[in-house]
A = this chain, B = another copy of it.
Amino acid sequence: MSEGMTGAQALLATLAGAGVEVVFANPGTSEMHFVAALEADPRVRGVLGLAEGAVTGAADGYARITGTPGVTLLHLGPGLGNGLANLHNARRAHSPVVNVVGDHATYHKQYDAPLESDIDAVAATLGPVVRSTTPADVGKDAAAAVAAAQNAPGGVATLILPADASWSDGGAPARPITPARPTPSSTVDDVASVCRSGEPAVILLGGDACREPALRAASRISEALGVRLFVETFPARLERGAGLPAVERLGYVPEQAEQQLSGARHIVVAGAKPPTTFFAYPGKRGDLVPSGAELHTLAAPGQDVTAALEELADLVAPGAEPALAPAHRPELPTGELLVATWPDVIGALLPENAIVVDETNTSGLLLAAATAGAPRHDVLSLTGGAIGQGIPVATGAAVAAPERPVINLQADGSAMYTITALWTQAREGLNVTTVILNNRAYAILRMELQRTGAGDVDPTKTGLFDLSTPDIDFTRIAEGMGVPASVATTAEELADSFRRALAEPGPNLVDARIPPLL
């Protein structure tokens, strides 16, 4: 098998041996031998994206759902660059993502050919970088990159693959390397004392603590001792809905988060980072730990937060039961589609076992409340704040779980960064329903302009936040990429469109016209 194997073939064999089944790809000339090896290997499937932001976001979505590496194939430095924003989100999500980035042949780099650039420097901003120099290295380098991406808590690793290391003979597949597992917490007893102290305490849940086992343990603690619970503002994957503990997310707007945490004497982070504001604002604190409160770390990212919470619950709440959200759906609203009404349509109709990709920004303020009692679902959120994540992440999630309905609730401005991922949804026949919350504005920037106190400018008149000249017709854009689409201007129309989209196989898009919050 390895006789006469090229570096590219060794790479494919190594990836397949590590359980990789999908490569999200936007290849170029320097990756031709990888493409040929991919076409020839029935164990691994290539999924084409028309731009790298679609590819990297899909790898992130795939990794969030499967827990296994999302693999990309990118074309040199510019390909990596185009994919950087969604790799940033993947890094913040602790998604195991492995980039295979083609490079010029080793002996060609001396010429500073047009596509030459410093791939290593850009990739190093994301995480570990391995550069193969010979075909014999490729297999073991690939195994190292896959393990690096999976080392707890997970992250982005990059394998740079020079064309000659890819096309030359001498490759050998390498066995998977066992990644570093989460380390145990050493502070359970200390945190137990805090919880038992009777002083007001908050546990902030993040990472794996947003999944059912940890949520149940946290809820037991809360029920027994009155400790308040919050989930980090932008969880990578939050399990919620009827039958699961309902835990509110910490607000994006600093005043809201301050309100949520006010009065706490202790802030315990469990899989989350210490709470801070997303941005700085003139004259405001960035640290959200209330003045005078103590910060405790039950488990930092990379520590086994589920075990720590379960151990903690057994210590301080041995007999307690978690508080589970009752099944409850809102009434289907009627009339004009508003920020206050559209979420109820989703809450009323959300199918069983859905994956909800939430890039609603300002339009989604009431979404969590509307779906709290809906059937159990996963929410994938905008972990790194780099907008343009939703359509690609939904695409990758649907590749990962073809049997689950994927609902992408998507702000209009954010959608346009990576709109071409719709084409991949059509090509692959993915069960994604995209609802564009189309308010014809960067509404969040209108809000932020006010919040930052930037001068006497009227945010509703600021041209750079306006998306209505011209209006974007998302139905035409979607249809142009093979995705059936419709417009909804009332709650009834959204309900009809949403039901129909769920009933039909393959992707669908609903352009839901709502007024901006601001």
A401 within 8 A of B: no
Inside 8 A of A190's CB, which chain B residues have their CB?
Answer: none
Residue of B nearest to A166 (CB): B454
Interface residue ranges of A369-406 to B (CB < 8 Å): 383-386, 388
B84 and A81 form a contact (CB under 8 A):
yes
Q: Which listed residue (B85, B280, B384, B417) contacts A50, Cβ 8 A?
A: B417
Asked if residues B413 and A464 are in contact (CB atoms below 8 Å), the reply is: no
Taking CB atoms, residues of chain B closer than 8 Å to A92 are 114
* Contact B118 A464, beta carbon cutoff 8 Å: no
Q: Which of A25-33, A172-180, A219-227, A263-271 contacts B (4 or more CB under 8 A)?
A: A25-33
State whether A29 and B462 are in contact (beta carbons under 8 Å apart), knowing that A419-B419, A454-B167 are contacts in the complex: no
A445 an interface residue at 8 Å Cβ cutoff?
Answer: yes
Q: Interface readout for A452-471 with B: 1 if CB under 8 Å, 0 if not?
A: 11110100001110110111
**Contact of A111 with B286 in the complex, beta carbons under 8 Å:** yes
A228 to B: closest C-beta gap in Å: 22
- Stretch from A119-127, A136-144, A327-335, A347-355 that touches the partner: A119-127
Distance, CA A471 to CA B104, complexed state (A): 32
A492 to B63: give the CA distance in the assembly, Å.
Answer: 50
Asked if residues A278 and B113 are in contact (CB atoms below 8 Å), the reply is yes
CB-defined contacts of A476 to chain B, threshold 8 Å:
476-477, 479-480
Q: Report the separation of the CA atoms of residues A27 and B457 in the bound assembly, to the nearest whole angstrom.
A: 15
Nearest-neighbor residue (CB-CB) of A448 within chain B: B29
A262 in the interface (beta carbon within 8 A): no
On whether the beta carbons of B25 and A464 are closer than 8 Å, the reply is yes
Count of chain copies: 2
Q: What residue of chain B has the Cβ atom nearest to residue A118's Cβ?
A: B125
Shortest distance in angstroms between A116's beta carbon and chain B's nearest beta carbon? 9
Contact B33 A452 (CB under 8 A): yes
Can you report 6 residue pairs joining A to B where beta carbons are below 8 Å apart?
A35-B457, A50-B417, A108-B280, A122-B122, A167-B453, A423-B470
- A residues contacting B by CB (< 8 A) are 8, 25, 27-30, 32-33, 35-40, 46, 48, 50-53, 77-85, 87-89, 92, 104-105, 107-108, 111-115, 117-118, 121-122, 124-125, 163-164, 167, 234, 273-274, 276-280, 282, 286-287, 383-386, 388, 413, 416-420, 423, 426-427, 444-445, 448-449, 452-455, 457, 462-464, 466-467, 469-477, 479-482
Given A29-B444, A29-B445, A111-B274, 19 extra CB contacts under 8 A: A8-B454, A33-B455, A36-B454, A39-B464, A50-B416, A51-B418, A77-B84, A77-B88, A82-B82, A82-B85, A108-B276, A111-B276, A112-B273, A113-B279, A113-B286, A163-B280, A164-B282, A167-B452, A472-B482
